[in-house]
Structure 1
Amino acid sequence: MTIEDEINQQRFENAQQQAAMNVIFTANWLTNTYALALKPLDLSLQQLNVLSILKGQPKHRATVNFIRERLIDRMPNVSRLLNKLMEKGLIQKDRNTSDQRVVHILLTEKGAEAARKGRTIFQAVTYELSHDKAVLLNDLLNEFRA
């Protein structure tokens, strides 16, 4: 289905505007698809992103700033996101004894298990796009942001 059909718009001023709207619409569609898939784990895509970042770090720990810099969705309120993960028992906060401003985030065993399950669900989401088209799309999106 075309973007025009999806949003019930007859035409765009130019192909660049059409492409931009298509990227935004598709990003939202993909985000909603993953959010629905992760719902049984009671995890948002942003929360899974944090758990995955921590899982990939030595000793499954990182500073808040390290996490903030690597998030896919660079939202301003990382503290709130981390507090929700802590309430679920998926992470722990550890203040640096020599500098109270530095907070290390530690992935709990429950958090590591949630990250593993979330990754499995994330990888199970499929959509029709051949390998060659996926490579082309990646190249185009990289160029789009350049």
Structure 2
Amino acid sequence: MKSRTLIHLMLVNNKVNETISTALKPYGVSLQQFNVLRILRGQGSTPANLTTLNERMVSKMSNTTRLVDKLLIKGFVYRSVCEENRRKIEITITEKGLKVLSDMDIVMQKTESELVEELTEQELQTLNSLLDKF
């Protein structure tokens, strides 16, 4: 039973990742890049550094620098050297990044709703309670 449960979790994880990746594809943004943009938007006018981004990522990874570089090329983020600490890099979301993220939010809300459309509110609450135990 334990193996079956873990296999189900992995299959659901794959389906969710594939569905969200497909939804983000028209924007040329990966799920991880989308996550970075959301973190930066949540920072408001306060810049983030690579450590902050990595700590707040849903999926912890060591290639945060590469993710930021790709977003920089697209014009979605701005990177600068901190005035007080020249070794620290500060990252902020650009107006272009905010605009595309706003567009992606609409698509993501629709995608998320479609992913859980077969579940009732009560089932979602139960599932969340069970997953919290992990």
- Corresponding position: 1:79 with 2:65: yes
Letter in 1 for 2:83: T
Unaligned runs of 5+ in 2: none
1:59 is matched with which residue?
A: 45
Q: Using the alignment, how far apart are the partners of 2:77 and 2:44 within structure 1?
A: 15
Unaligned runs of 5+ in 1: 1-14
3-state secondary structure, aligned to 1:75:
coil
Q: Over the residues paired in the alignment, what is the CA RMSD in angstroms?
A: 1.1
| Alpha-carbon shift at residue 116 of structure 1 (Å) | 1.0
TM-score calculated relative to the size of structure 2: 0.92
Q: Using the alignment, how far apart are the partners of 1:60 and 1:116 within structure 2?
A: 19
State which structure, 1 or 2, has the greater radius of gyration over its C-alpha atoms. Answer: 1
Q: Aligned residue pairs: how many?
A: 130
TM-score calculated relative to the size of structure 1: 0.84
Q: Using the alignment, how far apart are the partners of 2:81 and 2:50 within structure 1?
A: 11
Give the counterpart of 1:27 among 13, 35, 55. Answer: 13
Letter in 2 for 1:136: T
1:93 is matched with which residue?
A: 79
3-state secondary structure, aligned to 2:92:
strand
3-state secondary structure, aligned to 1:129:
coil
- Tell me which stretches of 4 or more aligned residues in structure 1 moved more than 3 Å: none
Letter in 2 for 1:44: S
- Corresponding position: 1:115 with 2:101: yes
| Alpha-carbon shift at residue 58 of structure 1 (Å) | 2.6
Per mean C-alpha deviation after superposition, the further-off stretch among 118-127 and 82-91 is 118-127
Letter in 1 for 2:121: H
- Corresponding position: 1:16 with 2:6: no
Letter in 1 for 2:69: N
- Deviations 1:28-63 (Å, cap 9, x if unpaired)? 110000010111111111111110111111315212
The answer on whether the counterparts of 1:60 and 1:107 sit within 8 Å (CA) in structure 2 is no
1:134 is matched with which residue?
A: 124
- Corresponding position: 1:49 with 2:35: yes
- Deviations 1:68-109 (Å, cap 9, x if unpaired)? 111001111110011000011100111112312211101001
